[in-house]
């Protein structure tokens, strides 16, 4: 799964917008794409970043094909490319457009879950009405998905899903696979955040996406992450929110950083009313100010001994001592 794709420099939504028909893979496209940075979750050990064999094969095949196209030249490639975006309208409302290769009934549980997720995010984070809809492009299989992305965004490493925010569109690209619900929830969370806020710090963007990708209850509790946090503490891990806040390039985010980002978000939302208000007030400011300073400064002003409280919260999660409210 995963990933916010942003421009290498601010503003963040500068990548070339997707089109219904892929442009020819020639140098005509390279300038626009050269501004893109790598995606998140680049740790090779991450489940989200491991390249499935079929995907790897598709990528390799498409790389060879792209070289061939390049040799032919732009002139011969002006006709529409056969790898078009999914166009079947699976869902369409003011917040969410789903274009799918797969025939989905309108009341399919995946669509209902995704539609409900927007309300869950907005209610939990007290977000305003989003300014833009998010468009989900759901390919029928990973090969077609991989071929599309490789041609449209040739510098991106293979991932199960991408969120691409541009000035014209907030788009999620993914395919029908085993992790489809988790992938859609993660990427759609990025979409809702970027549709509602001026900007989102990298660590917070990923921490919230990790939090909301969990469909099971209690809300936001990634049980695997909870146990790994406890294990890391036992090995002498020292969480460091300020270090997370210093990460600005998507390529800097490692597997452990996603875990820690999730843990801080969970702490902020569930430790106490005061910690939750630190996060909510920060998000309120992000609605009008894309550079509100560091959240850690506000946290330490509001919550004495925040690091110790964070450690206690994380430990209690893994031992089942915290009852996480479904209402939040
Ligand atoms: Zn992400």
If DSSP states are collapsed to H, E and C, what string results for the chain? CCCEECECCCCCCECCCCCCECCCCCHHHHHHHCCECCCCCCCCCCCCCCCCHHHHHHHHHHHHHHHHHHHHCCHHHCCCCCCECCCEEEEECCCEEEEECCCCCCCCHHHHHHHHHHHHHHHHHCCCCCCCCEEEEEECCHHHHHHHHHHHCCCCCCCCEEEEEECCCEEEEEECCCCHHHHHHHHHHHHHHHHHCCCCCHHHHHHHHHHHCCCCCCCCCCHHHHHHHHHHHHCCCCCCHHHHHHCCCHHHCCHHHHHHHHHHHHHHHHCCHHHHHHHHHHHHHHCCCCCCCCHHHHHHHHCCCHHHHHHHHHHHHHHCCCCCCCCC
Same domain for 153 and 268, yes or no, is: no
Same domain for 145 and 278, yes or no, is: no
Residue 206 lies in a domain: no
Residue 218 lies in a domain: no
Residue 208 lies in a domain: no
Residue 186 lies in a domain: yes
Q: How far is the CA of 191 from the centre of ligand 1 (A)?
A: 10
Count of the separate structural domains present in the chain = 2
Residue 147 lies in a domain: yes
pLDDT > 80? residue 14: no
Q: How far is the CA of 78 from the centre of ligand 1 (A)?
A: 34
Q: How far is the CA of 288 from the centre of ligand 1 (A)?
A: 23
Same domain for 77 and 123, yes or no, is: yes
pLDDT value of residue 49? 36
Q: How far is the CA of 26 from the centre of ligand 1 (A)?
A: 29
Q: How far is the CA of 79 from the centre of ligand 1 (A)?
A: 34
Same domain for 191 and 229, yes or no, is: no
pLDDT value of residue 146? 94
pLDDT > 90? residue 68: no
Q: How far is the CA of 274 from the centre of ligand 1 (A)?
A: 27
Host domain of residue 248: 223-319
Residue 165 lies in a domain: yes
Q: How far is the CA of 295 from the centre of ligand 1 (A)?
A: 19
Which residue would you say has higher pLDDT here, 273 or 80? Answer: 273
Same domain for 24 and 104, yes or no, is: yes
Same domain for 151 and 68, yes or no, is: yes
Q: How far is the CA of 300 from the centre of ligand 1 (A)?
A: 26
pTM: 0.76
CA distance 82 to 98: 20
Which residue would you say has higher pLDDT here, 27 or 176? Answer: 176
Same domain for 51 and 175, yes or no, is: yes
Same domain for 80 and 159, yes or no, is: yes
Q: Comparing 42-46, 64-68, 203-207, 271-275, which segment has the lowest mean pLDDT?
A: 42-46
Same domain for 21 and 112, yes or no, is: yes
Same domain for 36 and 166, yes or no, is: yes
Same domain for 228 and 84, yes or no, is: no
CA distance 32 to 230: 44
pLDDT digits (tens, 9 = 90+) for 191-250: 999 999 999 999 999 999 999 999 887 888 888 888 888 888 888 889 999 999 999 887
pLDDT value of residue 3? 58
Same domain for 175 and 115, yes or no, is: yes
| End-to-end Cα separation, the chain, in angstroms | 25
Residue 23 lies in a domain: yes
Mean pLDDT of 268-282: 97
Residue 212 lies in a domain: no
């Amino acid at each position: 799964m995963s990933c916010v794709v942003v421009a290498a420099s601010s503003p963040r939504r500068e990548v070339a917008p997707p089109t219904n028909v892929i442009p020819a893979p020639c140098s005509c496209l390279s300038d626009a794409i050269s501004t893109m940075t790598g995606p998140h979750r680049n740790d090779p050990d991450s489940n989200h970043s491991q390249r499935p064999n079929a995907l790897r094969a598709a990528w390799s095949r498409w790389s060879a094909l792209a070289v061939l196209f390049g040799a032919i030249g732009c002139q011969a490639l002006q006709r529409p490319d056969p790898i078009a975006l999914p166009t079947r309208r699976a869902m369409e409302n003011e917040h969410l457009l789903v274009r799918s290769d797969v025939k989905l009934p309108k009341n399919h549980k995946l669509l209902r879950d995704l539609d409900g997720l927007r309300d869950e995010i907005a209610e939990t984070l007290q977000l305003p009405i989003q300014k833009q809809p998010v468009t989900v492009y759901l390919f029928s299989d990973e090969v077609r998905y991989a071929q599309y992305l490789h041609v449209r965004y040739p510098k991106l490493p293979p991932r199960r899903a991408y969120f691409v925010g541009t000035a014209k569109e907030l788009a999620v690209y993914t395919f029908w696979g085993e992790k489809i619900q988790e992938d859609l929830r993660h990427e759609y969370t990025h979409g809702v955040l970027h549709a509602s806020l001026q900007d989102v710090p990298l660590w917070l963007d990923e921490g919230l996406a990790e939090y909301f990708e969990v469909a099971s209850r209690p809300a936001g509790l990634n049980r695997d992450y909870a146990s790994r946090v406890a294990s890391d503490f036992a090995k002498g891990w020292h969480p460091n929110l300020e270090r997370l806040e210093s990460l600005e390039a998507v390529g800097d985010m490692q597997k452990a950083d996603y875990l820690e980002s999730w843990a801080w978000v969970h702490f902020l939302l569930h430790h106490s009313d005061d910690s939750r208000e630190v996060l909510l007030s920060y998000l309120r400011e992000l609605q009008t100010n894309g550079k509100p300073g560091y959240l850690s400064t506000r946290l330490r002003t509001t919550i004495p001994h925040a690091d110790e409280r964070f450690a206690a919260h994380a430990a209690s999660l893994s031992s089942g001592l915290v009852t996480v409210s479904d209402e939040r």
